[in-house]
Amino acid sequence: MREKGANDFQALQNGLINSEDYIFTFLEHEEVPHHNNSSEASIRVLKVKTKDGADEFACFHSIAETAKRNGISKFTALYQLISDMAPKSIFIEDLISMES
Q: In this predicted structure, what is the pLDDT of residue 99?
A: 66
Higher pLDDT among residues 95 and 86, named by residue: 95
Is the distance from CB of 76 to CB of 98 less than 8 angstroms? yes
- Pseudo-torsion of CA 34, 35, 38, 43, nearest 10°? 150
pLDDT attached to residue 29: 85
From residue 67, alpha-carbon distances to 47, 62, 64, 99 in Å are 25, 9, 5, 11
Give the residue extent of every domain in the chain. Answer: 53-100
- Per-residue pLDDT at 26: 82
